[in-house]
Amino acid sequence: MSSQFLSSEEYDERAHQLYNEGNYDEALSTLREGLTIYPNAVELHVGVGYARLARDEFAWARRSFEEALILDPDHEDALAGLGETLLKFGQPAAAMKAFRRILELGYQDDVELMLQVGRALFRDGLMDEAKEFFAVALQQAPDHVEAVAMVGYAEHRLGHDEAAIATLRRVLQLDAEFSEARIYLANLLYDRAEYEAALYHFERTTPEDHWDELGIWRLIELRKSTYRLVDGDPSLKAWDDRLSELAAEQDDIDEMLGEIEQAASAAAEQEVRGQLELFGALLADLGEQRQPVSHAVVGRDGSEYDGTWDEIVEQMRQRSTASWKSALEFMQSEARRGFSVTGRLISTADAESFIRGSADAGLLRIVR
């Protein structure tokens, strides 16, 4: 059937399927085609917003969500998308206003929406606010495994390790196969020198459950010391093989990051020009704020860093186990590690991009 006979709902459904497959370009193309026929279709504007957001085109995403809200000021998905975009622009107060409007409209029973908002706040380092929305989700579904797990992760990020451990143990009571929570718990226990308990949980995971080298190194170390194993022991082969796989994947990530940064540089001028035309006034306001200022950042382990973006990266490098590396090499290695843990690319073009990207990935929190 020719696409001209599709309804706006069918365009939205097609785009949604493409989006779920990670095909954001085709999803965007489908939505834009639909909007040429149905310019007032709110769902299509919302879909464009999320497709743009997935492509890190934040200014364009913001415009689409705002256009959707002009058509329907109380559209919950548009409010959630606008809130996520405002966080990208460093406007947490405005973002929280959009998020709280969702609660005022009575969408507390939409568990997935509450988790979406909570995850956005979590990635931005707003742990107390994130916990609030995770708690709302749990009020509706007390045994929702992901919601319980997210509460545990937030508790850890807030420095409440006892509570985090108890929460993550509850996750495993609900779903013993939730490997992400089990690995997180094992690492928490290891950090507290509770090695026997850490090994118990590490040994209940498979090599394929791990997407970060840290947990595997710790498991191997604990097995060697507990069972008096030597290097090359057959029982460690599967874990050694997984380490090799992850190292190879990191080599591929190096190449991919290089290609992406090269492509981004080539397209930067055109993209910036378009976004300046769209949000000239907004960027002018932001430009006034780009005077040299001091920032504050808190790492996952609670370490605090103050200064300019470059100074903060230098402090992080000096405190790391890779202090011998250059600042660029340090950012690149941390970006690779972050990708293996979160699946999110972190720019190493400059210190500010690196820190903001790390915050978006949930690896640190920008306080100021």
Mind listing the domains of the chain with CATH numbers?
1-105 (1.25.40.10), 292-368 (no CATH)
Does pLDDT of 318 surpass 90? no
Q: By C-alpha distance, which of 157, 216, 150, 154 is closest to 183? A: 216
- Alpha-carbon torsion angle 209, 213, 216, 220, nearest 10: 160
Does pLDDT of 142 surpass 90? yes
CB 78 within 8 A of CB 41: no
> Alpha-carbon distance 311 to 323, whole Å?
14
CB 11 within 8 A of CB 38: yes
Q: By C-alpha distance, which of 145, 92, 153 is closest to 119? A: 153
**Phi, psi (5° rounding) for residue 305?**
-135, 140
Which sign does the torsion angle of CA 77, 81, 84, 87 carry? negative
pLDDT at 343: 65
Does pLDDT of 290 surpass 50? no
> Alpha-carbon distance 169 to 185, whole Å?
8
Q: By C-alpha distance, which of 95, 33, 86, 42 is closest to 61? A: 86
Q: By C-alpha distance, which of 315, 294, 314 is closest to 304? A: 315
Going by pLDDT thresholds of 50, 70 and 90, the confidence category of residue 303 is confident
pLDDT at 348: 80
259 or 126, higher pLDDT: 126
> Alpha-carbon distance 215 to 198, whole Å?
10
Does pLDDT of 275 surpass 80? no
Summarize the confidence of residues 347-366 as an average pLDDT. 85
Q: End-to-end CA distance of the chain, in Å?
A: 54
Q: By C-alpha distance, which of 137, 188, 133 is closest to 166? A: 188
Does pLDDT of 77 surpass 60? yes
Which sign does the torsion angle of CA 260, 283, 334, 311 carry? positive
Structure tokens at 88: 């990208």
pLDDT at 2: 44
What tens digit of pLDDT does each residue of 252-266 get? 555 555 555 555 555
Summarize the confidence of residues 162-177 as an average pLDDT. 97
Going by pLDDT thresholds of 50, 70 and 90, the confidence category of residue 122 is very high
Give the residues across from 306 on adjacent strands. 296
CB 81 within 8 A of CB 46: yes
Where do the H-state alpha helices sit in 175-301? 179-191, 195-202, 213-227, 237-278, 280-288
Least confident residue range of 128-132, 220-224, 266-270: 266-270
Least confident residue range of 183-187, 275-279, 292-296, 361-365: 275-279
pLDDT at 262: 56
pLDDT at 291: 54
CB 165 within 8 A of CB 200: no
> Alpha-carbon distance 250 to 333, whole Å?
9
Which sign does the torsion angle of CA 306, 307, 309, 314 carry? negative
C-alpha angle 353/355/359, rounded to 5°?
A: 115
Summarize the confidence of residues 85-92 as an average pLDDT. 95
What tens digit of pLDDT does each residue of 10-59 get? 999 999 999 988 898 999 999 999 999 999 999 999 999 999 999 999 99
> Alpha-carbon distance 145 to 153, whole Å?
12
